[in-house]
Structure 1
């Protein structure tokens, strides 16, 4: 090969390497860029339902559905840097809209949790609801929410809104609710709730995501360690309905004041019910954001911290998850295969004057914030 041809060959090779380097640089830049995408998931009751995917600069992803304002997937790294899902989900919109959906990742309201006997009195009027639990037969988890993308301090978010009309499921007042999901670059998932009404109404909002921090390596969540910053819990009777008494956790199976696996005392709880489904009265009762719970999963090294402005958190140990129901990728659910930490006001507060107030009135604005912070212990 003569010198001219050799020089041309090296020149071509240099250009090729430069082009390849540019491609890698572009891909690397893309991987570090926050992105949001939207696609149509299908229809429910003749209305379009959309799925949003948020990805932050670290590669963490959160998927949302406008049906039920639901979190359908959260993908985070483990201690080895491997990305995998840390929440239960379903494969299709038809499954989310089906009877076997156990509030999977849904926004729950108008009043999450329980109201005794489906009745309450407010300002001299008695109201009868369609159900005693989770906002009625067709609560917020079964409604189609409007959504829009919003940018908050260079971090991506989706704001979902729903107008719950007067007498919906038996509740008074036209209630406008917005829930904003923000994925931050430090791997915080922030949920901001806001609501206004034209008539006094009870209001308790929460999110019902099922967590399994092993990322699929353990079909159960029983070896997960939980700490709850609460010295008291709500005594409950049949059907997990609070009795109105607030008891100390000390020397009970409900003591999670120091790290303890979910499995350790669950059999003691199962003497009375099918597992943990308990409301903790948090130490923080100020209405300001504070740490409520910490979780550690030993196989993956993942940690979860839960912060909230709410006075309570419900710990549910997935007692009624059934292998008869198939979740994401056709994998069957299993009892205790996941847990929920639902930040909220206390159940049946509207009928229990000693509990913190849950009545929202005209001219008032309800606000609440919960943060799910994902970390890794190496």
Structure 2
């Protein structure tokens, strides 16, 4: 394993670094301590040729100018909270409603965890390098209660495995749902639509949403819908069954296939390159978003590539959206003395 640390810029008077990790197979991960953003991930195909399989930018300045969460951490609460309102016991809280089209609270607010410089430490072993990002989110930050100590670990192993671990504690009852928001295209970030990728989601049920993207509270079967990915399915085939082809849904993991403490969540495969990515997690659900909204604005990524609708996809392991307002969903409350700890791994290979 190799590591390189380079100066990447400065935000709020704090140094921002770009950390490069590389294993013996040539797989290369680049991540910055600004927003814990995965800026680049080079993965070999079945012929051994490398391609960058995540959407992103070359420079910090581009990220500072705004982006749709390319590769970033989302929190304190990823996904949406209805009207930005929730209660813990008798205490009621109002967060900003920063998603203009829907009027909901999204991904922690206008300045969520993705817009801070994190401290970090690096742990090295023979088989892996882990970057432990950490920060303190003060009581009241973005309207959330409690001072939260957060550690987000991102690492690369010699076995072509990428890990995303999250740990958090709070001195007051609060809510938390932390995810990585990378957009993947296993054919290469500049290769166009992912509609020809094959996807398996280990989920029998999903949580439908209203027009404003908030869960209705129902839990419905994926059977007979364009959201049925229980067996390997060409994404574009299912998109034909959905008006406009857009997918942005929370899928409940069935836990039928396990690897130790991890549930198998997703298996993504690109037939052209032979690359696959298996997602395993301790989380209860996964958000599959096929980036149908990318064309709402112009986004130009590395090497001037224009990222358009369906040019990548997100597989975000998570708690349920709007869980603080749905008692029958898994709880998102973190109390003093408790530890929020969730782990996700992405295994890359070819077939």
TM-score norm. by structure 1 comes to 0.87
Given the alignment of the two structures, is residue 213 of structure 1 paired with residue 180 of structure 2, yes or no? no
**2:226 paired residue among 234, 253, 260:** 253
Check conservation: 1:217, 1:299, Cα contact below 8 A. no
More strand by share: 2
Q: Do the aligned partners of residues 355 and 153 (structure 1) sit closer, same or farther apart at CA in structure 2, a change above 3 Å counting?
A: farther
Which one has the largest radius of gyration? 1
Distance 2:254 2:188 in 1: 31
Instruction: Quote the residue 1:7 is aligned against.
Output: none
Deviation at 1:148, TM superposition (A): 1.5
Q: Do the aligned partners of residues 263 and 45 (structure 1) sit closer, same or farther apart at CA in structure 2, a change above 3 Å counting?
A: same
Deviation at 1:270, TM superposition (A): 2.6
- Match of 2:86, SS state, is strand
Check conservation: 2:200, 2:229, Cα contact below 8 A. yes
Deviation at 1:216, TM superposition (A): 4.8
Distance 1:51 1:348 in 2: 34
Distance 2:229 2:125 in 1: 35
Per-residue CA distance 1:53-110 (angstroms, 9 max, x = gap): 00112111100011111111110100111011011111210111112x1101001100
Given the alignment of the two structures, is residue 326 of structure 1 paired with residue 293 of structure 2, yes or no? no
Distance 2:153 2:265 in 1: 20
- Match of 1:242, SS state, is coil
Per-residue CA distance 1:102-123 (angstroms, 9 max, x = gap): 1010011000000001110112
- Where do 1:201-350 residues align within 5 Å? 201-216=174-189, 218-270=191-243, 275-284=246-255, 288-322=261-295, 324-350=298-324
Per-residue CA distance 1:241-273 (angstroms, 9 max, x = gap): 1111110000011100011111112133235xx
Check conservation: 1:177, 1:196, Cα contact below 8 A. yes
Instruction: Quote the residue 2:327 is aligned against.
Output: 353
Distance 2:68 2:320 in 1: 20
- Match of 1:263, SS state, is helix
Given the alignment of the two structures, is residue 54 of structure 1 paired with residue 54 of structure 2, yes or no? no
Distance 2:122 2:273 in 1: 32
Instruction: Quote the residue 2:102 is aligned against.
Output: none
Given the alignment of the two structures, is residue 93 of structure 1 paired with residue 68 of structure 2, yes or no? no
Given the alignment of the two structures, is residue 112 of structure 1 paired with residue 78 of structure 2, yes or no? yes
Aligned residues: 341
What residue ranges of structure 2 are gaps of 5+ in the alignment? 98-104
Instruction: Quote the residue 2:151 is aligned against.
Output: 178
- Match of 1:300, SS state, is coil
**1:363 paired residue among 323, 337, 343:** 337
Given the alignment of the two structures, is residue 121 of structure 1 paired with residue 121 of structure 2, yes or no? no
Instruction: Quote the residue 1:4 is aligned against.
Output: none
Deviation at 1:199, TM superposition (A): 0.5
Check conservation: 2:55, 2:189, Cα contact below 8 A. no
TM-score norm. by structure 2 comes to 0.94
What residue ranges of structure 1 are gaps of 5+ in the alignment? 1-33
- Match of 1:243, SS state, is coil
Distance 2:271 2:288 in 1: 19
Check conservation: 1:163, 1:176, Cα contact below 8 A. yes
- Match of 2:83, SS state, is helix
Check conservation: 1:39, 1:50, Cα contact below 8 A. yes
Instruction: Quote the residue 2:32 is aligned against.
Output: 65
Per-residue CA distance 1:188-230 (angstroms, 9 max, x = gap): 0011111111001010010000000002573111100000000
Deviation at 1:130, TM superposition (A): 1.9
Instruction: Quote the residue 2:43 is aligned against.
Output: 76
- Match of 2:20, SS state, is strand
